[in-house]
Amino acid sequence: MSPAMVFTQNGGVLSRREIPQHAPERFAQALLTALTGGWRVVSYFGMQEEDGVRLFCLLSFKSHATIGVMSTLVTGKSFYSLVPQAPQLHLFEREIAEQFYLNLEGHPWPKPVRFAPPLGSLPGETPEPPPTIGVMDFYRVEGQEVHEVAVGPVHAGIIEPGHFRFQCFGEEVMHLEISLGYQHRGVERMMQGRPGERMRKLMETVAGDTSIGHGTAYAMVVEALSETRVPARAQVVRGIALELERLANHTGDLGAIAGDVGYLPTASFCGRIRGDFLNMTAGICGSRFGRDLVLPGGVRFDLAADGAGQLSDRIKVAREEVQNAVDLLWDTPSVLARLEGAGVVSEQTAIELGLVGPAARASGLNRDIRRDHPFGIYSMSQIPVETAKSGDVYARTLVRWLEIEKSLDFIEEQLSQLPGVSVANPVREVAGDHLAVALTEGWRGEICHVAVTDARGHFQRYKVTDPSFHNWTGLALALRGGQISDFPLCNKSFNLSYCGFDL
């Protein structure tokens, strides 16, 4: 019998011929066996082929820093859901069914994900147009005093669109269902074709606040496919930029959480300090969000000697300021009383849903791509992983703060020992008929990019998995049994991306 899967590492590349293609039954069995054995799904997607839809599943095994790949071919209209045994697949399967116009059998909640037209379909099938966005049967609780609250897709304040449907008993939320897709742009369709500058820019805008995270993942995919080495100095600059992105967003989140509980001082200070971190990124590359900094093969802008010194000084000032602002938060009992016990996600739930990033770490899951599947500078220089136990808003706030401290330390350490001189190597031709995978730890969590090339070296399929894709269900479950008035605070503590999910 052929091996269940073929192994590679983060930033690795495989020839398409090496990837085992199982019969659907064997694929399901191998997948479930792997999941019980401690593997975790990082990406699971379909790709149109001549004789059907090929499903690729990529799994991560933390302790060996290994990524396993396997595939199967769906030729019939239906494929069987594994969700009853493996809940973490639930959204991946719904996505595959929607993108390739398949029937999902045995899924407990088979609904559209983005209400988008399919990417492809079985040979001979003509897909119908997708249903009107947001129009579906929501889960309903019936009863005398049960009431339904619908929020969105248009919200107060400047945030992205999404629809939230609460089933409430008085102030208590019995169930929350989240319906997204309003930001769908067809990113994965646009990513089919010849790799190039346009695609790099597109990847930087998958989620506008995670340009470095997604940009680095794209660069790693192209580097893997073209066997391009990245100079050490460029890796350091990428690492610094990624941590600056984390600092800016985590600081902004702490301020927003403080603002949601009505605690003004931290809200105002953190709002400003977030701007300072963004300006540091602008100091490196001219863009506050790090656009066009990361290129396949390296980085576009170097940190000059005096630039590194200046950045180091600004980091020192910002460290003191953010420390003061956040200490106010920890020193105010009314704030802590508000944060503790709100929106609890248990460790068991987090494991079953496959949560990632700070939300997972706040529920006690020790997972961080920077350590589990180290890439770039993180394979040379370790960054400690911070976790918390309680899984509530307080834990998510605390984990963010601890990560801010660690990121500041990391940047200062890297700035003191910048290696080499060269910051970019030329990129060679992208290899045809290969599959490349790149994982990065953006500030929201694990970002996974997978590219499958055709014989000409064009992307036949480019799969982006934003951390929000894993975590939205976590938010829905955090509210279960909670207070509806706690929703905005819980939402802020997750701070997920709509466009990163909607693609």
H or E, element range at 6: strand 6-8
State the minimum distance, in angstroms, from the CB of residue 484 to other proteins. 6
Q: Please state the φ and ψ torsions of residue 171, each to the nearest 5 degrees.
A: -90, -10
Helices (H), 227-343: 232-260, 264-285, 305-330, 333-339
Instruction: Considering the complex, state which of residue 140 and residue 198 has its C-beta at the smaller distance from other proteins.
Output: 140
For other proteins, the binding residue among 39, 45, 269, 443 (CB under 8 A) is: 269
147 binds other proteins (CB under 8 A): yes
Torsion angle defined by CA atoms of residues 50, 55, 60 and 61, in that order, rounded to the nearest 10 degrees: -100
Which residues from 157-176 bind other proteins, rule CB under 8 A? 157, 171
Instruction: Considering the complex, state which of residue 79 and residue 164 has its C-beta at the smaller distance from other proteins.
Output: 164
Instruction: Considering the complex, state which of residue 64 and residue 272 has its C-beta at the smaller distance from other proteins.
Output: 272
Instruction: Considering the complex, state which of residue 23 and residue 149 has its C-beta at the smaller distance from other proteins.
Output: 149
DSSP 209: G
For other proteins, the binding residue among 1, 135, 156, 305 (CB under 8 A) is: 156
Which residues from 178-237 bind other proteins, rule CB under 8 A? none
Residue tagged 């300021």 (tokens)? 321
For other proteins, the binding residue among 487, 494, 498, 501 (CB under 8 A) is: 487
For other proteins, the binding residue among 19, 28, 151, 345 (CB under 8 A) is: 151
State the minimum distance, in angstroms, from the CB of residue 111 to other proteins. 22
C-alpha to C-alpha distance for 70 and 377, rounded to whole angstroms: 29
Q: Is 33 exposed, middle or buried (0-12, 13-18, 19+ CB in 10 A)?
A: exposed
For other proteins, the binding residue among 262, 286, 420, 481 (CB under 8 A) is: 262
Q: Is 131 exposed, middle or buried (0-12, 13-18, 19+ CB in 10 A)?
A: exposed
Instruction: Considering the complex, state which of residue 171 and residue 327 has its C-beta at the smaller distance from other proteins.
Output: 171
Which residues from 321-360 bind other proteins, rule CB under 8 A? 332, 334-335, 337-338, 342
For other proteins, the binding residue among 18, 25, 125, 148 (CB under 8 A) is: 148
DSSP 483: B
State the minimum distance, in angstroms, from the CB of residue 493 to other proteins. 13
267 binds other proteins (CB under 8 A): yes
Q: Which stretch binds other proteins (CB under 8 A): 74-82, 97-105, 183-191, 264-272?
A: 264-272
C-alpha to C-alpha distance for 54 and 494, rounded to whole angstroms: 33
Binding mask 446-485 for other proteins (x = CB under 8 A): -------------------------------------xxx
Sign of CA dihedral 178, 179, 185, 191: positive
Sign of CA dihedral 330, 336, 338, 340: positive
Residue count at the site for other proteins (CB under 8 A)? 32
Q: What are the beta bridge partners of residue 337?
A: none
275 binds other proteins (CB under 8 A): no
C-alpha to C-alpha distance for 470 and 89, rounded to whole angstroms: 9
Q: Tell me which residue of 445, 435, 474, 476 sits closest to 47, measured CA to CA.
A: 435
154 binds other proteins (CB under 8 A): no
Instruction: Considering the complex, state which of residue 156 and residue 421 has its C-beta at the smaller distance from other proteins.
Output: 156
261 binds other proteins (CB under 8 A): yes
| Radius of gyration for the alpha carbons in the chain, expressed in angstroms and rounded | 22
Instruction: Considering the complex, state which of residue 278 and residue 484 has its C-beta at the smaller distance from other proteins.
Output: 484
Instruction: Considering the complex, state which of residue 263 and residue 378 has its C-beta at the smaller distance from other proteins.
Output: 263
486 binds other proteins (CB under 8 A): yes
Q: Is 496 exposed, middle or buried (0-12, 13-18, 19+ CB in 10 A)?
A: buried
378 binds other proteins (CB under 8 A): no
Number of C-alpha atoms within 13 angstroms, CB side, residue 369? Answer: 29
Contact (Cβ atoms closer than 8 angstroms) between residue 7 and residue 57:
no
State the minimum distance, in angstroms, from the CB of residue 269 to other proteins. 7
Instruction: Considering the complex, state which of residue 129 and residue 157 has its C-beta at the smaller distance from other proteins.
Output: 157
Q: Which stretches of the chain bind other proteins, using CB under 8 A?
A: 147-151, 156-157, 171, 258, 260-265, 267-269, 272, 332, 334-335, 337-338, 342, 483-489
